[in-house]
Structure 1
């Protein structure tokens, strides 16, 4: 047998000296099997490196009420809240969720997908790492139901559950402009950036834009500027990451350009906290001199100093609705995209601009 050949359940049965039906019962836990036979089966599985074809199992109508969920970073408050919403909703319909993470890295995402493909999940809730590379083909899941969460337009044939990020970027920008702030900095967060500050407009207008939440928010930012007839200035754009340090460094980069800035929209609340941290260290008053808006409205927003104005995209509902969408697919129903609304929660990090 060549190394590239996929081991079949019949080969496992032959190795163990048992019937394929017995092996299937052990692997699926569908019926009681004697302990000594279980040992033989699992020994054969280990020796032959057998990987169950979960897609084929699903097509045969066998289910386990187990859902896989893959997110970029479980330590991020946004993703942890999304997971919490998914787990609660799954419990309501007697399902459990296996959580896996890619730590924001494409190679770990591929490994996680391969690992999940060897489990007994009925379907996958997938929040991909947004990078400039092509998304993985997910060959192991090609027959398995998938719901993409937190992104749009990732796969043409799969349903997506995502928030209206264009509206989120628009609301944040529009509010700052109404406060009289005309020089609005925008910190664009990426796991791996597909653009520079010079090309972000072009990439945001492409078909791939929906794979990057930041690009949708950027388009909302541009729309608000155009409505208020404020000239777009690329020197107010900073490409950054998604943690506190990214915000701290991003704010420093913005000020080092020696451009006038009176407000900043951050990639998320952690980044916004980093922005406030840098500005405070420099003796720049927030919100009077520079107002700051975050994104997510997570647990840190009410405890930053000053408390953080933030776009609330309701990650718990995102997680819950992704479970609802997947359960409908498992029931044989047609499922279309679900778009979650956003709102702006105003706190003390923003104020009217005083001349």
Structure 2
């Protein structure tokens, strides 16, 4: 062997087998005797051999690469998704590419076109705004796509997400059980189905308790801290309320800021419930009562579905809903004896 980079021929010579046998062993494409496999592994380690991934992809029809398209990377919830996807991908011998779209449909289409040209094995998407028929075109052209968290209106794309409507019902039922009836909702971004589902769960729980829905108690917070803050300021100025259900934990931070700035206390004057159960939820003042959605499990499930599609295995079920869970901390309590503020 020369002093250059070791080749498959060097591995075969050291292991005492043919290059075809080494290729089958490394690509997992044939039956290899245990002793032969052990000899090849030992030769690979001794030589420090790194397989040619381009050549391997020609044999296996897989680049062992998947991609994730996110609208942004500012939301800590997305960090939990990335962690779950990366762990499952690595366990399957794949790497993950991360692309941020900023909610721009042209950029989404550019990324999907580029990823298809690069022959990635598949793409996970969250929060795409590209028209569903265009996404369906990519699927028909052979690019496996799985949606997680925020869905898209396409029957050709599997979806993994938490049961958003149920999660919202759990939040409102908790507040109702404490004695609240003047419950405001700081909603998510308009036009998103997950926002609509959480509003729907809010209204379902009120109706089941025979509490009349007051449209003046709903304001848009768009899933951001600033949005939650501004929505709550408007709600406090215009309505009497004793509790707020925020569409996510980030907007709940803005809700708590606005309540404190108004001279009120959480939960003494106003109780607050979020949605997501981010890691920071347990470290707010007071710690935030919230709805836990299993981000890591959502990510792992969606990644496995994508790997199955990429391997040619069918996915008969389109919708995969995971159960939310109420996590009670210090931001909720029974309403005080004073009039609602």
Distance 1:136 1:298, change over 3 A: farther
Local SS of the residue matching 1:302: helix
Residue 319, structure 1, aligned to residue 310, structure 2: no
Q: Which moved more, 1:168-177 or 1:324-333?
A: 324-333
Deviations 1:57-116 (A, max 9, x none): 99x971111111111122211111111111011111111111111123434333333333
Q: Which runs of 4+ in 1 moved over 6 A?
A: none
> 2:227 is matched with which residue: 240, 243, 246?
246
Give the Cα–Cα distance (whole angstroms) in 1 for the partners of residues 55 and 211 of structure 2. 65
Deviation at residue 270 of structure 1 after TM alignment: 1.1
Residue 346, structure 1, aligned to residue 328, structure 2: yes
Q: TM-score, normalised by structure 2?
A: 0.77
Give the Cα–Cα distance (whole angstroms) in 2 for the partners of residues 162 and 186 of structure 1. 21
Distance 1:143 1:120, change over 3 A: closer
Root-mean-square deviation (CA), in Å?
Answer: 2.2
Q: TM-score, normalised by structure 1?
A: 0.74
Partner of 1:159: 158
Aligned residues of 1:266 and 1:294 also touching (Cα < 8 A): yes
Deviations 1:151-176 (A, max 9, x none): 34621122111111011110001101
Partner of 1:201: none
Give the Cα–Cα distance (whole angstroms) in 2 for the partners of residues 115 and 136 of structure 1. 18
Give the Cα–Cα distance (whole angstroms) in 1 for the partners of residues 60 and 155 of structure 2. 25
Distance 1:267 1:129, change over 3 A: farther
Distance 1:80 1:327, change over 3 A: same
Aligned residues of 1:301 and 1:308 also touching (Cα < 8 A): yes
Aligned residues of 1:101 and 1:112 also touching (Cα < 8 A): no
Give the Cα–Cα distance (whole angstroms) in 2 for the partners of residues 136 and 155 of structure 1. 7
| Stretches of structure 2 lacking an aligned partner (at least 5 in a row) | 1-51
Give the Cα–Cα distance (whole angstroms) in 2 for the partners of residues 320 and 353 of structure 1. 40
Give the Cα–Cα distance (whole angstroms) in 2 for the partners of residues 105 and 152 of structure 1. 16
Partner of 1:276: 256
Give the Cα–Cα distance (whole angstroms) in 1 for the partners of residues 138 and 89 of structure 2. 23
Give the Cα–Cα distance (whole angstroms) in 1 for the partners of residues 311 and 115 of structure 2. 21
Distance 1:185 1:124, change over 3 A: same
Distance 1:239 1:309, change over 3 A: same
Partner of 2:95: 96
Deviations 1:221-279 (A, max 9, x none): 1110111000011111111222211111111111222x111111112111101110111
Partner of 1:185: 184
Give the Cα–Cα distance (whole angstroms) in 2 for the partners of residues 228 and 140 of structure 1. 46
Kindly tell me the number of residue pairs found equivalent between the two proteins.
282
Partner of 1:217: 198
Q: Is the radius of gyration larger for structure 1 or structure 2?
A: 2
Give the Cα–Cα distance (whole angstroms) in 2 for the partners of residues 304 and 105 of structure 1. 33
| Stretches of structure 1 lacking an aligned partner (at least 5 in a row) | 1-26, 32-56, 195-210
Local SS of the residue matching 1:338: strand
Aligned residues of 2:132 and 2:152 also touching (Cα < 8 A): no
Give the Cα–Cα distance (whole angstroms) in 2 for the partners of residues 249 and 216 of structure 1. 22
